[in-house]
């Protein structure tokens, strides 16, 4: 559990007391990619993200996968954390890696000017054909959906101590918890989860339910689509583009899943 203890003064009404509090740790992580022939390797800084330390290798691989840089486990030669805040992802020597195209892609995807149809078209060109294939219909019982928030909440060890983290978890169709991740960034938590399954060659996740501790944004639905996830449930509200993304990729999107109710979008 990555927490830090600090001294605080706690007020209640007209009284106060000096005590300690636990905070969720937030530190930068640099993700670098190594590429090219083994005798002439080059490296490139791909991203610096603010995250809660832990599962950093999964985060780096998951990020590269959900951003469309790598498509399968075999694209990655090795993953290594060089220090507390740097992960080097070494790609296969014969992997086709276009640095200029990558830089344009990240500039575009992080720009506030990208929205609507353009964003959906960009995702469509990136999601692999394997993950776009829809399997035979399968049903999820309402009682299974109702049970997910509490199961996710029980898995949030660091949130219990700090109250300051996002979380996501993967369940099977019967509501059994398979894996969960926490992070100060909701996108990082999901990249950690997806990266774990990619490194274990278990993508696409088309027989699983994704549960989010907060709202359902376009970015999270995009990452779910990349992993082939077909059902996303969120405690909070979905955005309009999240709903459009779910519709485009055949994802069942559940929002406002709390207090014995939910909406299906």
Rounded to an integer, what is the distance from CA 184 to the centroid of its chain?
A: 11
Alpha carbons 233 and 148: distance in angstroms, whole number: 9
Nearest of 134, 145, 131, 143 to residue 211 by alpha carbon: 145
In the three-class reduction of DSSP (H, G, I as helix; E, B as strand; rest coil), residue 24 is classed as strand
Q: CA 106 → CA 90, 111, 224, distances in Å?
A: 19, 8, 18
- Is 134 within 8 Å of 250 (Cβ atoms)? yes
- Catalytic residue ranges: 112
Distant-in-sequence contacts of 231-237, Cβ < 8 A, 24+ apart: 231/140, 233/145, 233/148, 233/209, 233/257, 233/262, 235/149, 236/212
List Cβ neighbours of 258 (8 Å cut-off, separation of 6 or more). 149, 235
At 250, list the tokens. 């055949």
- Is 94 within 8 Å of 189 (Cβ atoms)? no
Omega of the bond leading into 261 within 30 degrees of 0 (cis): no
Could you say which DSSP state residue 39 is in?
G
């Amino acid at each position: 559990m990555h927490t830090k203890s600090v001294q605080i003064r706690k007020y209640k009404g007209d009284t106060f007391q000096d005590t300690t509090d636990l905070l969720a740790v937030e530190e930068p992580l640099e993700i670098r990619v190594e590429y090219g022939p083994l005798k002439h390797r080059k490296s490139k800084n791909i991203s610096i993200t603010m995250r809660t330390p832990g599962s950093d290798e999964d985060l780096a691989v998951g990020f590269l996968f959900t951003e469309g840089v790598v498509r399968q486990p075999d694209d990655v030669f090795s993953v290594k954390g060089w220090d507390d805040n740097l992960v080097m992802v070494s790609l296969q020597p014969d992997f086709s890696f276009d640095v200029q195209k990558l830089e344009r892609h990240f500039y575009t995807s992080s720009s506030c000017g990208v929205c609507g149809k353009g964003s959906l078209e960009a995702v469509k060109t990136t999601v692999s054909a394997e993950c776009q294939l829809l399997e035979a219909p399968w049903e999820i019982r309402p009682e299974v959906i109702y049970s997910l928030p509490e199961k996710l909440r029980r898995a949030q060890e660091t949130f219990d101590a700090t109250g300051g983290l996002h979380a996501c978890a993967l369940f099977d169709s019967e509501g059994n918890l398979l894996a969960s991740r926490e992070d100060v960034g909701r996108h990082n938590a999901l990249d950690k989860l997806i990266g774990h399954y990619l490194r274990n060659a278990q993508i696409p996740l088309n027989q699983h339910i994704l549960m989010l501790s907060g709202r359902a944004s376009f970015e999270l639905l995009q990452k779910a689509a990349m992993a082939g996830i077909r059902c996303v449930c969120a405690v909070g509200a979905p955005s309009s583009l999240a709903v459009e993304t779910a519709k485009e990729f055949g994802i069942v999107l559940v929002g406002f899943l709390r207090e014995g109710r939910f909406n299906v979008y």
